[in-house]
Amino acid sequence: MSIDLDRIRAAHERIRSFIRRTPVLTSERLNDASGASLFFKGENFQKIGAFKARGATNAVFSLDDAIAQRGVATHSSGNHGTALARAAKLRGIPAHIVMPSNSAKVKIRAVQSYGAQVVFCEPTEEARESTCAEVIKKTDATLVHSFENEDVIAGQGTAAMELLEEAADLDVLMCPVGGGGLLAGTAIAAKSMQPEIKVIAVEPANADDAAQSFRAGRRIVTEKKFTIADGLRTNVGEPNFAIIQRYVDDIVTVSEEAIVSAMRTIWETMKIIVEPSAAVPYAAILERVIDVNGRRVGIILTGGNVDLDALPWNPTR
Amino acid sequence: MSIDLDRIRAAHERIRSFIRRTPVLTSERLNDASGASLFFKGENFQKIGAFKARGATNAVFSLDDAIAQRGVATHSSGNHGTALARAAKLRGIPAHIVMPSNSAKVKIRAVQSYGAQVVFCEPTEEARESTCAEVIKKTDATLVHSFENEDVIAGQGTAAMELLEEAADLDVLMCPVGGGGLLAGTAIAAKSMQPEIKVIAVEPANADDAAQSFRAGRRIVTEKKFTIADGLRTNVGEPNFAIIQRYVDDIVTVSEEAIVSAMRTIWETMKIIVEPSAAVPYAAILERVIDVNGRRVGIILTGGNVDLDALPWNPTR
């Protein structure tokens, strides 16, 4: 089974009553500053504050009843855990979320608020995976990986689908890339709906494994460095990379300074709260690593979950 | 001449191509938390980032040509100055904005970006008024006061008009009160469109001259204390108070803590940026100084111009 536009449309039908059809936002000032016509898909206004609600909901509601009753499990320090907990609650099934012991308290509380069971582990990739495997062995729950999962990818593709329905004839569609769930779904939706569109992914230079992989033509796993765009530290997944190779036109990178500057510009100009990862595509426009002059450009603003006590322009943190 | 719904409708016709029809926002989580159905009018998304664009634009475009050519003038440390500068630029006439010498640089730059002439004065009410009078004497410009002006009041009333067109059958309409321009326009629009509606104004306890005046039945001018809701430090104007006495049902006050908490809650939950003054009505719901349980409540979110380097929950500032 593979992922195509029909499957993304089916995902949309499946999840539409559980998610928000988020607004497409424009800004005259950012259009003037960039020379482009920008169309921002506001997934910061999505349920649980991020696009992740789409994929997790699609995965949970795609399960057969008998399998669903055994519950779902994942490991996540971020929005996917919350999204899976919420989707499981909506379906009335158990959810087990493996979280690193150093996860932000607000994220732990968010997961627990949906009645999911939180299982803590050491904050390493190995511990996360092994603990999650143990939980699954014990509970017989189904793993819903945050990006290496076809239903998750199809669900994430619904954001681009909605955007292209509302903002037709885009020349370019941009989104950030971490594990590649959003990018894979976005690229399939966009190229299927509008074959001439250019799909450009943007990645922090400090976490540029997808850009490296794209240039090399093979998946390269890199050491994780710090990036303020913490949602993008993950290495791109294998099934994701295969889709990216087929459908994505380019992957460019941006500096940490540009990410912070883009985030602040979006806050001040558009009066909306977006997380650092969401600002990464606009950072590429700010740094002029891609030329958008005179073009109609879609940008997926991935989410708006930030710690207001630790903003990146606050010099004391 | 007095202000009625026809005049507010005429104002709306006059300014509609120059302002944004701002969205009406809802939040399931804030509905659950409050027990009410809340409808937020997002004037933080208005041109210049605040509802003030409405009144200033109406005042500027209400002037006869011969008078308009001589220009407009005002004194303002905040959004009205920017709004008047923008409106004057749109009409192609001069604007003179008297600003206290200690005004935030970002506000000075905003006014200048519209080509207005900035005249600095000492940061006292007396200096502002006398400097503005001098400018008017010298230039023959027309004073457009930020709230003691019928065209400004009628313009501000268009926000409530739009809100009531979209969210029908509200039981309560809430807005903050400073000088009373927004409140006067809001109250006239609301009571004219829907006589049974309750109009409730909210004021910081640290700047409670309007609440005191309302109780006493006469305008009381108080010493200014500090409030984080800096847009509301002004004493209520005379013509404004006359309208308020006639149309407003109650004026309640809120603590500084509740304002900060309401602002943060709106940011985190709704993913939008609102200024402290805009959070004042929701603060009254948080502090339960008004009972909204089971009711449909409109709230005007007045603006979104904040200094991101000096957020009120940042303990170092």
**What does pLDDT average to in each consecutive run of 10 residues of chain A (317 residues)?**
93 98 96 97 97 98 98 94 98 97 90 96 93 97 98 98 96 98 98 98 97 97 90 95 98 98 97 98 97 97 94 71
Going from the C-alpha of A229 to that of each of A203, A204, A265, A266, B162, the distances in angstroms are 9, 7, 16, 15, 38
Chain B residues near residue A21 by CB distance under 8 angstroms: none
Contact A45/B271, CB-based, under 8 Å?
yes
Contact B308/A45, CB-based, under 8 Å?
no
Show pLDDT as tens, one digit a residue, over chain B (317 residues): 689 999 999 999 999 999 999 999 999 999 999 999 999 999 999 999 999 999 999 999 999 999 999 999 999 988 999 999 999 999 999 999 999 999 888 889 999 999 999 999 999 989 999 999 999 999 999 999 999 999 999 999 999 999 999 998 999 999 999 999 999 999 999 999 999 999 999 999 999 999 999 999 999 999 878 999 998 999 999 999 999 999 999 999 999 999 999 999 999 999 999 999 999 999 999 999 999 999 999 999 999 999 998 899 876 54
Q: Are residues B108 and B11 in the same domain?
A: no
Q: Is A90 on the interface with B (CB under 8 A)?
A: no
Chain B residues near residue A271 by CB distance under 8 angstroms: 44-45, 49, 272-274, 304
Residue A242 CB-density burial (10 A; 0-12 exposed, 13-18 middle, 19+ buried): middle
Q: Is the residue at A149 inside a domain?
A: no
pTM: 0.95
Contact A271/B272, CB-based, under 8 Å?
yes
In whole angstroms, give the CA distance from residue B150 to residue B188: 12
Chain A residues near residue B45 by CB distance under 8 angstroms: 271
CB distance B308 to A313 below 8 Å: yes
Residue of B nearest to A315 (CA): B309
Q: Are residues A114 and A218 in the same domain?
A: no
Q: Are residues B71 and B220 in the same domain?
A: no
Q: Is B50 on the interface with A (CB under 8 A)?
A: no
Query: Residue B190: what residue type?
Result: A
Q: Are residues A32 and A166 in the same domain?
A: yes
Q: Is B17 on the interface with A (CB under 8 A)?
A: no
Q: Is the residue at A316 inside a domain?
A: no
Which position has the token pair 């100009």?
A269
Q: Which residues of A78-99 are buried (b: 16+ CB within 10 A; e: fewer)?
A: bbbbbbbbbbbbbbebbbbbbb
Q: What is the pLDDT of residue A105?
A: 87
Best residue of B271, B307, B317 to probe chain A, by most A CBs closer than 10 Å: B271
Q: Are residues B216 and B293 in the same domain?
A: yes
CB distance B60 to B93 below 8 Å: yes
Q: Is the residue at B149 inside a domain?
A: no
Q: Are residues B128 and B181 in the same domain?
A: no
In whole angstroms, give the CA distance from residue B34 to residue B190: 22
CB atoms within 10 A of CB B311: 18
Report which secondary-structure segment, H or E, holds A201: strand A198-204
Q: Are residues A131 and A280 in the same domain?
A: no
Domain of residue B69, CATH code: 3.40.50.1100
Could you list the residue range(s) of the whole structural domain that residue A247 is in? Answer: 5-50+157-310
Q: Is A49 on the interface with B (CB under 8 A)?
A: yes
Q: Is the residue at B315 inside a domain?
A: no
Q: Which residues neighbour A16 within 8 Å (Cβ) at sequence distance 6 or greater?
A: none
Instruction: Choose among B273, B313, B316: nearest Cβ to A267.
Output: B273
Q: Are residues B12 and B161 in the same domain?
A: yes
Contact A271/B304, CB-based, under 8 Å?
yes
Q: Are residues B97 and B237 in the same domain?
A: no
Q: Is A74 on the interface with B (CB under 8 A)?
A: no
Instruction: Choose among B45, B274, B308: nearest Cβ to A313.
Output: B308
Q: What is the pLDDT of residue A317?
A: 42
CB distance B278 to B262 below 8 Å: no
Q: Is the residue at B87 inside a domain?
A: yes
CB distance B284 to B254 below 8 Å: yes
In whole angstroms, give the CA distance from residue A192 to residue A164: 11
Q: What is the pLDDT of residue A1?
A: 62
* A195-243 pLDDT tens trace: 999 999 999 999 999 999 999 999 999 987 899 999 899 999 999 999 9
CB pairs under 8 A between A and B: 42
Q: What is the pLDDT of residue B316?
A: 52
In whole angstroms, give the CA distance from residue B266 to residue B273: 8
Q: Is A317 on the interface with B (CB under 8 A)?
A: no
Going from the C-alpha of B170 to that of each of A124, B31, B154, B285, the distances in angstroms are 52, 14, 21, 16
Residue of A nearest to B303 (CA): A271
CB atoms within 10 A of CB B152: 33
Q: What is the pLDDT of residue B315?
A: 61
Please tell me the total count of domains within chain A.
Answer: 2
